[in-house]
Amino acid sequence: MTRTSPFPIDGAAASVRRLAGERTDYLAGSLPDDAPVDPLALFDIWLAEAFAHRDAHADLPEPSAVVLSTVAIDADGAARPRSRTVLLKNHDQDGFVVFTNLDSDKGREVRTTPRAALLLPWYPLQRQVRIEGTVEPVSAAESDAYWGQRPRGSQLGAWASHQSRPIASRESLEAQYAEVETRFQDAPVARPPFWGGLRVRPESLEFWQGRPHRFHDRILYTVRAGAGWERHRLQP
């Protein structure tokens, strides 16, 4: 059987050559051996620097954007990783919090397998932070508090969207929004029972800083049995 490529051969070869030839040397910073003992202290420093960079250079539009990876279980029992970008809305000693439709794919996935990974990709700073841990819902009070800060349009959108479910057209989606807008006309928009926060309680955090010659800095923090953190430098 003869197989044909959907791309012209010359074009595909040119694309491969282009990707293979891409080179950027990372010169923006380093991670010293005396990094803070507490990874959350280092996270606060890096997050503040990400927002400062955004304000100064406008090339890091969403410093709080985080890639959330969960595990889906197929009908045959096979585990399948799935990722999407969400926004980090809180973090403290208890963990890292995002908010979502809890009946969405990710909401159902963490109910079945309550573990997740987070990735904050701060590309202009040549940095990334990887977080892995267990997942639990936040309290209703915490979800209510954040819900009350959301713009009204976003509140209506949460009610209108059956997240992750197919829909016939954009027109149908807009019709759902219009119905919800009418329902809540001149009234506060209560938090839907299917909407709330998820907290990732970290078991490990890795801080990655690009360095020249792909000889990058990597500092890994893991939860120590009992209390506290263990800190290790990893080879690139």
Query: Which positions are catalytic?
Result: 214
CB 198 within 8 A of CB 137: yes
Q: Residue 71 gets which letter from DSSP?
A: E
In DSSP terms, which residues pair with 118 in a beta bridge?
A: 68, 131
Name the nearest CA neighbour of 219 among 68, 45, 95, 54: 45
* Strands annotated E in the chain: 65-73, 79-87, 90-92, 95-101, 115-122, 127-137, 195-209, 217-223, 229-234
Report, in angstroms and rounded to the nearest whole number, the Rg of the chain calculated over CA atoms.
22
Q: What is the DSSP letter of 179?
A: H
Long-range contacts (CB closer than 8 Å, 24 or more residues apart) made by 148-151: none
Task: Quote the tokens at residue 9.
Answer: 């051969």
Q: Torsions phi, psi of 55, nearest 5?
A: -70, -30
